[in-house]
């Protein structure tokens, strides 16, 4: 129990500091929203089966042929940038309510859920063999490298293939004993992250780019729990010669290129070769780190 309480206190310290950095104004409002019990606003209250409405009745962002709802990310027609989807989502919530449909260009309809109660209902009612959107760029890369990857990854697997992978890992990862075994190393990472956060703060107690800090913290946590390796992501100042910073840069490149032709319709969607090449190059470097250098770290 001592380890659990220690982890909880440290985790809460770090979470509260990060939340204050990201949402200084909304922090006081969040607790009020969490305690709301207005059953009339949510489909998840009571007998939600009887309250179900047809998909066409869901409020939605206006959509057009080919481009879908992507016009909201265009400079001339819309006012949001694809890299600031949190702002677009907030406007959707204010304008259309807690359940909103956004049509992706030439692909699927994306349903946004903004209420925790609705998200809980979704997970309670989800099928055993779901069909999910996945990530086309990751699927394309993994499918083009069958010598390295057995499949397209759990993010892109569908139905029975997804269920097979899920069942083979879930029984082990959801055990309480397994989770508790990670507490000591998670405590170590959290303490280092707290130290780094204090070093990054300015005289006003603010961090210039808290998202970068969160990426560094997440990468170091994943590396230590998955392959028992340290990548140097929490050092200050950051040593760019270490593997952690290199992996972060490759991930930024992958995400940036995905954004070019992932949601808005643009020239990159029609001629994506340059950005796909950048994604493959970054993925290739990550594969080299994962298959060659991480085992070296583990052995040494």
- For residues 194 and 17, the answer to whether their CB atoms sit within 8 Å is yes
The separation between CA 187 and the C-alpha centre of its own chain, rounded to angstroms, equals 22
pLDDT average, residue stretch 33-60: 58
Per-residue pLDDT tens over the stretch 63-97: 888 888 888 887 777 777 777 788 888 999 999 99
**38, burial (CB in 10 Å: exposed 0-12, middle 13-18, buried 19+):** exposed
Q: Does 299 or 235 have the greater pLDDT score?
A: 235
Map residue 268 onto helix, strand or coil.
helix
Per-residue pLDDT tens over the stretch 174-195: 777 877 888 888 898 999 999 9
Q: Give me the percent of the chain exceeding a pLDDT of 90.
A: 9
pLDDT average, residue stretch 239-256: 78
- For residues 98 and 113, the answer to whether their CB atoms sit within 8 Å is yes
**Per-residue pLDDT at 267:** 43
pLDDT, averaged across the chain: 72
């Amino acid at each position: 129990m001592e380890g659990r309480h220690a982890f909880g206190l440290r985790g809460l310290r770090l979470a509260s500091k990060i939340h204050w950095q990201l949402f200084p104004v909304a922090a006081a409002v969040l607790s009020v929203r969490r305690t709301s019990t207005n059953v009339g606003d949510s489909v998840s209250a009571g007998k939600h089966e009887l309250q179900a409405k047809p998909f066409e009745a869901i409020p939605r962002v206006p959509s057009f042929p080919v481009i879908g709802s992507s016009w909201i990310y265009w400079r001339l027609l819309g006012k949001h940038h694809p890299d600031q989807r949190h702002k677009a989502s907030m406007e959707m919530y204010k304008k259309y309510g807690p359940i909103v449909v956004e049509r992706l260009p030439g692909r699927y309809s994306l349903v946004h859920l903004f209420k925790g109660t609705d998200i809980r209902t979704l997970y309670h009612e989800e099928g055993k063999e779901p069909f999910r959107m996945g990530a086309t760029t990751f699927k394309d890369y993994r499918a083009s490298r069958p010598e390295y990857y057995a499949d397209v990854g759990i993010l892109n697997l569908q139905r029975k293939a997804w269920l097979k992978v899920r069942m083979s890992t879930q029984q082990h990862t959801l055990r309480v004993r397994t989770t508790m075994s990670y507490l000591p190393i998670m405590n170590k990472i959290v303490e280092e992250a707290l130290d780094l956060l204090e070093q990054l703060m300015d005289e006003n107690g603010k961090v210039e780019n808290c998202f970068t800090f969160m990426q560094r913290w997440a990468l170091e946590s994943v590396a230590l729990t998955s392959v028992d390796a340290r990548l140097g992501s929490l050092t200050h100042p950051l040593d760019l010669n270490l593997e952690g910073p290199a992996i972060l840069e490759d991930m930024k490149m992958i995400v940036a290129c995905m954004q070019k032709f992932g949601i808005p319709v643009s020239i990159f969607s029609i001629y994506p070769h340059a950005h796909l090449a950048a994604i493959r190059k970054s993925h290739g470097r990550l594969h080299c780190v994962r298959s060659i250098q991480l085992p070296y770290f583990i052995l040494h």
